[in-house]
Structure 1
Amino acid sequence: MNNLTKQLANLYEPKWNELKQQLDAKGIKVQAPFMLGVALEHNNQGGYVDESWWTDADLKVMVFGQEPLNWPMPILDDGSQVQSDDFVELYQRFYSDNYKGEYFLTDSDNHLAKNKFFSMGFNGIMSGIKDFVLGEQYSDKKVAYLWNNISKLSVGGRKGVDSGIHDLEKEYFHVIPQEIEILKPDVLIFLTGPGQNTYYSYIQENFNVKGSPIPLAGNDIDAVAKLDIEGVSLAYKTYHPTATKDGDRGIKDAEKWQYYHAIFDDMKEHLDDIFNNK
């Protein structure tokens, strides 16, 4: 286990053990808690050993979804109890199989990778940063992308996260601030929905957001906004790629692309600051 992944594993293990006691005592079943790992398979040679794709990147971008839906508990062949390292491996296996540096596979055998979060959201952000943010000026820069969720727990299905599950996460599995400290992303993009919704309150619980959201290029501040987050160079928030409505108003993909481009335009203005401070 490599350095960053080992730090993450050491963070998760005691917190998962305590959280599991609480879940078992209350008879609550959840999806697999969302634990990160950045040691990926190296050239398909087996074993999760390669962190250089992240550590050597010139620009590190972390993209947040909402919660880990369709993220099943690992089933161990020997029938032993699932440990926190198994959740880290679950993430690393999914990432090794589907993340290809400049795009995310959406035609793999893994049904989750076919989700619009990846086909439009993740891949759209990757291609947009390559074409509109880096362009020819920074074509030699290496960018790495990491998937996260602003809620680490979910009961799955349509229910997602309820207040009881979220309270347990806050008390026993509050790990996102330490993840950021360990992984040190330059840019955070929250695909968590409009305005100051429930997921925005989760952002505030995990980050020191200074002041109010900042509008971008004349766009509706509830639709897309810049966030001033302590310790992070750039941060933005907009709709989840699967969103079809905002209240009673329908939302089409073309509108979401407009907001993505507002993010790209602002990022481009600040790239020099990021690269010059490394």
Structure 2
Amino acid sequence: MDTVSTNKQLQAVYESYLATLRQSVWDEKMSSPLLMHVFDEYETVSKKIMFVGQETHSWAGCMNERRELSKLLEEYESFQLGNAYKGRSGTGKPRPLNSPFWNFNRSCFAGINGLNDRRNKGFLWSNISKFDINGTTPSTSHIEAHPEGFELLIQEISITKPDIVVFYTGDKYQKYLNEKLDLEESKWRQLGDETIPLKTSNCTIGNHQCRLFRTEHPRTFCQGKNYRGKGMYRKVLDKLIEEASTDNR
């Protein structure tokens, strides 16, 4: 399947999702949803990877505006997977975004696929929660009133068929993630010793089988008090690349 066809399928489910959102819980506190565009490089890599963050935190400075699907997809595409960040206002000069999240994504993707180009746009980026509330994590009531967001993520995986999905959700969204993936917590296998926050599991979504990894947000490894000074960023990255480079599905 080519990226034109893949993006058309995504747009169809996004249109339906936005229609539902407008009719239900989309209040003035909620940001616009993060919706993906698949770049052509995705079809050329040996191992297709989707990285799943938590929520937007007013990503790109425009997410709190009510935008139509075409504008949301345009923002995602112009962001170039962190290679053309325009600042919080969304109007600055484009530059590569240098953050733990994006550096981890690039290094992980390049390491697993044996690439030298860390700006290759051959991976996918989505969020487990499609929106934030006032720039931060949605409340439990917002989340439970809006199950369509989690279901949309499952549809995204089913359409794009990544070989590997990396969830930066820790335990924060695990209840909802396990429910939607129809996984018991016992199905997640610890990688390395218990001090390394990295687990893996296999899952079939639709008729597509993929390997799942779950860890903390990369920012936590650099700034979180529980991991500071322990080199956890590098430990998790190296272990993830090592495990994902082998086919254990």
TM-score by length of 1: 0.71
Aligned residue number for residue 2 of structure 1: 4
2:111 to 106, 119, 128: 128
Partner secondary structure for residue 97 of structure 2:
helix
Q: Name which one, 1 or 2, has greater alpha-carbon Rg.
A: 1
Q: How far apart, CA to CA, are the structure 1 residues paired with 2:102 and 2:86?
A: 8
Q: Could you tell me whether the CA contact under 8 Å between 2:169 and 2:214 is conserved in 1?
A: yes
The verdict on how the C-alpha distance between 1:249 and 1:270 changes in structure 2, with shifts beyond 3 A counting, is same
1:249 to 207, 221, 226: 226
Alignment of 1:88-237 (within 5 A): 88-95=73-80, 98=83, 109=93, 113-119=97-103, 121-130=104-113, 134=114, 144-157=122-135, 159-171=136-148, 174-193=151-170, 197-209=171-183, 211-217=186-192, 219-220=193-194, 223-230=197-204, 231-237=208-214
User: Cα distance, 1:248 vs. partner?
Assistant: 6.8
Alignment of 1:49-68 (within 5 A): 51-68=39-56
Q: Could you tell me whether the CA contact under 8 Å between 2:51 and 2:166 is conserved in 1?
A: yes
Q: How far apart, CA to CA, are the structure 2 residues paired with 1:67 and 1:15?
A: 17
CA shift digits 1:169-202 (9 cap, x unpaired):
3047731111111101011111222xxx232223
The verdict on how the C-alpha distance between 1:200 and 1:109 changes in structure 2, with shifts beyond 3 A counting, is farther
Q: How far apart, CA to CA, are the structure 2 residues paired with 1:178 and 1:160?
A: 22
Q: How far apart, CA to CA, are the structure 2 residues paired with 1:124 and 1:247?
A: 20
Q: Could you tell me whether the CA contact under 8 Å between 1:98 and 1:105 is conserved in 2?
A: no
Gaps of 5+ in 2: none
The verdict on how the C-alpha distance between 1:176 and 1:221 changes in structure 2, with shifts beyond 3 A counting, is farther
Q: How far apart, CA to CA, are the structure 1 residues paired with 2:110 and 2:44?
A: 20
Aligned residue number for residue 17 of structure 1: 19
Q: How far apart, CA to CA, are the structure 2 residues paired with 1:248 and 1:242?
A: 11
The verdict on how the C-alpha distance between 1:253 and 1:124 changes in structure 2, with shifts beyond 3 A counting, is farther
How many residue pairs match? The answer is 235
Q: How far apart, CA to CA, are the structure 1 residues paired with 2:110 and 2:121?
A: 11
| 2:57 maps to 1:69 | yes
Aligned residue number for residue 139 of structure 1: none
AA in 2 matched with 1:3: S
User: Cα distance, 1:250 vs. partner?
Assistant: 4.0
Q: How far apart, CA to CA, are the structure 2 residues paired with 1:234 and 1:89?
A: 30
Q: How far apart, CA to CA, are the structure 2 residues paired with 1:234 and 1:82?
A: 34
Gaps of 5+ in 1: 39-50, 137-141, 274-278
RMSD: 3.6
Q: How far apart, CA to CA, are the structure 2 residues paired with 1:153 and 1:2?
A: 26
User: Cα distance, 1:222 vs. partner?
Assistant: 6.9
Aligned residue number for residue 36 of structure 1: 36
Aligned residue number for residue 85 of structure 1: 70
AA in 1 matched with 2:75: L
Q: Could you tell me whether the CA contact under 8 Å between 1:64 and 1:147 is conserved in 2?
A: yes
